[in-house]
A and B are shown apart, each in its own frame.
Chain A
Amino acid sequence: MERVRTNVERVIEGKPEVVSSALVVLLAEGHLLIEDVPGVGKTMLSKALARSIDSTVRRIQFTPDLLPSDVTGVSVFNQDTRQFEFRPGGVFANIVVGDEINRASPKTQSALLECMEERQVTVDNATYQLETPFMVIATQNPVEMEGTYTLPEAQRDRFMVRTSMGYPVEAAELAMIAGHTEGNPLDDLEHVTDAAEIRKLTAIVGQVFVAEAVQRYTVALTSATRRTDELVLGASPRATLHLVRAAKAYAALQGRDYVLPDDVRTLAPRVLTHRLLPSVEASMNERSTDEILQRLVATVPVPDGTRG
């Protein structure tokens, strides 16, 4: 995994946190939502990650006129065989890069999101299993931008982690000029691993131990988001699952076979923020969900009890 990380970081400079988020999501079999203004390297990150793994990669550019069948695939009548045959859509790959997902119509969006959750595509009564690993890396522009459709809460909830790139620091930007003006740095990237190895790794992640105290802590965190007055929508049970799963992957990435409360705490903002809706009062006080969540994390006590 370290190789993947260094590989990706050759392209995306100065953003280790974003890269680690991406790897966590990959190992936790979740999906990644990258939200930021255009031009900060969202697509580059997805591509670099995809390129590092020797697997099938599809990229779907979401536009307002994209149809659901473009995503899932379509049955076409074959004149020669006189039969309908299935033409797989964009999702039939190990890594699907959904670029600017919020520019497509909600109908198309939901077609993708169904695939994300079910990991299968059903067209004309035939169900097609998607490959494993299967990961969707969706990028989106902030909702205020022109020509965007807001991703509904239910769909945001399906992404395990939302992260944003942010502008690079000056040094990283300078280095970028040097690297990116001569040619496409993606061309130099080599595969450092393959889908089989990723499958093995995800199996290992599944076996990471989560102590009861950590489980309690996770639940305490998510339920705290439901109780606070500053949020109208708290984290769903799915969020709890995602958080634990991400924490397991994070622990595995650190070389540990057990999860620490610190893992949960570190990941909580990335996993939970995009699922929360601030209350009217909180919005008026200009308190972002991020701040609210940080405060909650600071108040929920970490269980210091031993196991059992």
Chain B
Amino acid sequence: MTSRSRSSLGAGVALSTAAALTTWICILSWRGFTDAPSLFLSPLLGLALLVAGIGAVGRWSRLGVASVLLLQLLTGAMALSWVVVGSPLPVGSTWDALLVAFAQARDGAVVYASPVPTAEAAVEPLLVGGGLLCLVLVDLLACGLRRVPLAGLPLLAVYSVPVSLLATDLTWWVFALSALGFVAMLYLQESEQVARWGRSLGEDGPDPLAATSGLGVHTATVRLNALAVGGVATALAVVVPLAVPTLDVQLFDVGRGPGGDTKISVDNPMTDLVRDLNRPDDTPLLAVRTDQVEPEYLRISVLNRFSQNEWSPGDREIPLENRPDGDMPTLTGVSQSVPRRTLDYRLEAYETFSSRWLPTFAPVSRVEAAGDWRYDESTMDFLAGDPDLDLTGATWSMTAVDLDLSAQELADAPSSVGMVSASYTDLPSDMPPLIRQLANQVTAGAPTRFQKAVALQDWFREEFDYSLRNVPPGNGTDELEEFLSPDGDYARTGYCEQFASAMAVMARQLGIPARVAVGFLRPQRIAEGVYEYSSDDLHAWPELFIAGSGWVRFEPTPPARAGAVPAYTREAVDLEQPEPSGPSGRAEDQLPDRNGEPTAAPDELDPEADDEAGAVDAGFPWGTLLGVLLGALALVALVLAPRAVRRRRREHRLAAGPEAIWDELRDTARDLGLPYPDHRSPRETGAGLVGHLGSPLDDRPRPSHGAGQAPEAVDSLHRLVGDVERLRYAPVGADESRPDRQEDGRRVAQALHDGATPQARRRATWLPRTLLRPTRRTDVVAGPETESLGYRDGVVDLVR
């Protein structure tokens, strides 16, 4: 009895510890929640061991599941209280302190974005408490209820929380370790289960099985197999997604827009932009009907305020009468001398498009839209006045002004001081010096404001790489510094958000009024005169104010994403231009041509540029290729492994004694799906096997089998039966070694193969049953009540 209890305590401790540590490893993925993760991870490690210990000992002393759970929760709560307020008994003032701590943690979590600065708000109580609940839950499922597979669900939830709440990438090693931990839990649980079944009925029987360790699976091979399968599965899970482009899929979109459905919402244009560009699927959002060849740069909103953290639309105070019900105010800052023409559009938002902003082509001269839309006179973007107003399904018409800007006029423009609000050159007081320095350095050779802007644009397009992946979202000063710095972590790699923000910030740094526009880059033509914008077309670009020309659009995003730059930025400018610039013409003619693409098929460029942007930038995708190769290799290894393991086992056994050969025959029969009786004598079993022997010459789909088919194999089988019988039942020393025994074993195994159907043979070769479900040898016959008969005193031995 003692040995049995000790073994189950060992197994219980092993499983509980594995469960607790796996949960803790999973919780490692919460590191991003605060800037000092060790503050909650270290207490949680202690709690993990506490929960595991209580669980193991409680179950060992045969406490009920509920009692163990209660004990764990109570002790855990005391430990939590001790961690948070320094006293394990939350009574009186301690209780109040605990409540305060949790309230503060909650407030901190609400106020601050992750990672929460620990100095500002201590959110650890929440994290430790949540972690404790997870630990107890996993322990309950895995060890208490013995449903290890079910325990994977809370583990997955633990792991998914940061995926959905933090926009950071997942750490692969946390995943790999968690997966391995989970595999270990499964292994421990299953092997203990096996051991439990395998125990001898007699408590004090001579069978040593009960006295062994808690690991029920005893053969090294089986353990090795389990290890190999678990390891390969984890490796595959880590490696294969590298080659699949959906690793970035966000599992749960909690807290960021409408989760679940494919509706795309634009509230805060910039943050939504990031998410929508990262969508794995391209959702059509908006249709435009126009006579223009290709309507580009459909503006949704304008971000005019740059604070330390981000570009934002700022506070808008819009008069009630600013309704889009006809002609708009005259264009700000545009000289009457600029040649222009008007273009008419009809726009229709799809049901998938939800926005508080009304997209328009800028500059706009007339808009007619139903609903309480208001325009901001300084930015000329349209915002919903009614909180319930949404763009979904709306149709509206508008007229845009197409200015034919010339580079010469732009370059000759006078100072814009006083023409627009001073807020367009506002910058935070503590701008990193790097930004100013770079702005001056890049524009050193450009005499005018316009040329400085062009210099910036070209610098971005040539020196930077476009990528949507592995780029931290954000456009605050820190992110921009990181983005601009040539040796930062994300050295000069980013996407439109960073390019537009950076250029606008640098322009402001140079004294040029600048703002960031968010909208759609280029549509896809779906019919004659009808174009469609989708989520992949979302874009951001800077607009700079040049006196006489108004707000002028620039395109700093590299060619991988934005094919062409505005025509006027390439005229009469002899800075480095890769392509010879064509004669100045009207914008609608110029833009597609510069792209080098036929205008009929511009749609091919966009989705590809978007999807493959990361790969294109990185040159040939060696990493992906390597990943695919490794994955394929692992897959091949996985496919070949059962066959190889089975073969090695066969050779090993055939070279060993009669018992091993007999085991091999048993496994061969089982691999082939033949009935193999359990616990029958060798002779009986042999007689059964004879009926399944087949001839090697028989290659019909259903080969005939029986004693007559393979007389040699029958003789071999009989010899083997004799060997096994002698070994088992004859007096010691009676078994003789035969040189041809191995040959006999091989012949019988082959004859068994020959007698099976091709399907069974294939199965036996590639997916042997005995590997998947190894048979344990039970040497113990169900024990009869032998004591009362005096069997142990050797009644049978008296027979002479």
A residues lining the B interface (CB < 8 Å): 206, 209-211, 213-220, 223-224, 227, 237, 240-241, 244-245, 248, 257-262, 265, 300-307
Contacts and interface: CB of A to CB of B under 8 A. Distances in A.
Given A240-B795, A244-B796, A261-B681, A223 B785 contact: yes
A224 B783 CA distance: 10
B796 A305 contact: no
Interface in B691-738: 725-732, 734
Given A237-B789, A237-B795, A305 B779 contact: yes
Contacts of B798: 241
Contact of A302 (B681, B732, B734, B780): B681
A259 B726 CA distance: 10
Contacts of B577: none
Given A209-B729, A244-B799, A257-B730, 8 more contacts: A206-B799, A210-B799, A220-B782, A257-B731, A258-B725, A301-B680, A301-B782, A302-B680
B528 interface: no
B786 A258 contact: no
B659 interface: yes
A82 B728 CA distance: 65
Contact of B799 (A216, A223, A227, A241): A241
Contact of B729 (A211, A219, A241, A244): A211
Interface string B665-699: 00000000000001111111000000000000000
B729 A258 contact: yes
B664 to A, nearest CB: 14
B784 A219 contact: yes
B172 interface: no
B173 interface: no
B791 interface: yes
B681 A262 contact: yes
B62 interface: no
Contacts of B729: 209, 211, 213-214, 258-261, 307
- Residue among B681, B784, B785 with the most chain A CB within 10 A? B681
A217 B681 CA distance: 10
Contacts of A214: 729
B773 interface: no
B682 to A, nearest CB: 8
Interface in B742-800: 777, 779-782, 784-786, 789, 791, 795-800
B731 A209 contact: yes
Contacts, number: 97
Binding site secondary structure of chain B? loop
A258 B728 CA distance: 10
A297 to B, nearest CB: 11
28 contacts: A209-B730, A210-B796, A210-B799, A211-B730, A211-B731, A214-B729, A216-B781, A219-B789, A219-B796, A220-B781, A220-B784, A240-B796, A241-B796, A244-B796, A248-B799, A258-B725, A258-B734, A260-B729, A262-B681, A265-B681, A265-B684, A300-B781, A302-B679, A302-B781, A303-B781, A304-B679, A304-B682, A304-B779
- Residue among A220, A302, A307 with the most chain B CB within 10 A? A302
Nearest to B784: A223
Nearest to A28: B799
Interface of B: 659, 678-684, 725-732, 734, 777, 779-782, 784-786, 789, 791, 795-800
Contact of B683 (A237, A257, A262): A262
Contacts of B785: 223
Please name the 7 residue pairs, one residue from A and one from B, whose CB atoms are nearest each other, closest first: A301-B679, A223-B784, A305-B779, A258-B730, A211-B729, A261-B681, A209-B731
A256 to B, nearest CB: 8
Contacts of B730: 209, 211, 257-258
A109 B640 CA distance: 74
A211 B728 contact: yes
B779 A303 contact: yes
Binding site secondary structure of chain A? helix
Nearest to A221: B784
A11 B443 CA distance: 127
B680 A260 contact: no
Contacts of A210: 796, 799
Given A219-B789, A223-B786, A306 B681 contact: no
A109 B678 CA distance: 45
Contacts of A220: 781-782, 784
Contacts of A223: 784-786, 789
B728 A306 contact: yes
A193 B490 CA distance: 105
B703 to A, nearest CB: 29
Contact of B732 (A217, A218, A307): A307
A40 B319 CA distance: 125
Contacts of A262: 681, 683-684
Contacts of B681: 260-262, 265, 302, 304
A184 to B, nearest CB: 39
A208 B435 CA distance: 101
Contacts of B799: 206, 210, 241, 244-245, 248
Contacts of A237: 789, 795
Nearest to B800: A206
- Residue among B684, B731, B799 with the most chain A CB within 10 A? B799
A15 B683 CA distance: 24
A213 B728 contact: yes
Contact of B781 (A227, A240, A265, A301): A301
Nearest to B791: A219
A223 B779 CA distance: 19
Contacts of B782: 220, 301
A263 to B, nearest CB: 9
Contacts of B789: 219, 223, 237, 240
Contacts of A206: 799-800
Contacts of A209: 729-731
A301 B685 CA distance: 12
A306 B731 CA distance: 11
Contacts of A248: 799
Contact of B784 (A224, A261, A302): A224
A118 to B, nearest CB: 17
A241 B786 CA distance: 14
A210 B798 CA distance: 11
Nearest to A205: B800
A177 B725 CA distance: 44
A304 B728 contact: yes
A277 B779 CA distance: 32
B795 A241 contact: yes
A247 B203 CA distance: 31
Nearest to A300: B781
A119 B785 CA distance: 32
- Residue among B726, B777, B785, B789 with the most chain A CB within 10 A? B789
A140 B462 CA distance: 115
A213 B780 CA distance: 9
Contacts of B800: 206
B796 A306 contact: no
Contacts of B680: 301-302
A301 B678 contact: yes
- Residue among B729, B730, B734, B784 with the most chain A CB within 10 A? B729
A261 B800 CA distance: 18
Contacts of A218: 796
A206 B797 CA distance: 11
Contacts of B726: 258
Nearest to B731: A209
A156 B198 CA distance: 40
A300 B800 CA distance: 26
A307 B796 contact: no
A257 B734 CA distance: 10
Contacts of B734: 257-258
A216 B680 CA distance: 14
Contacts of B727: 306
A261 B784 CA distance: 17
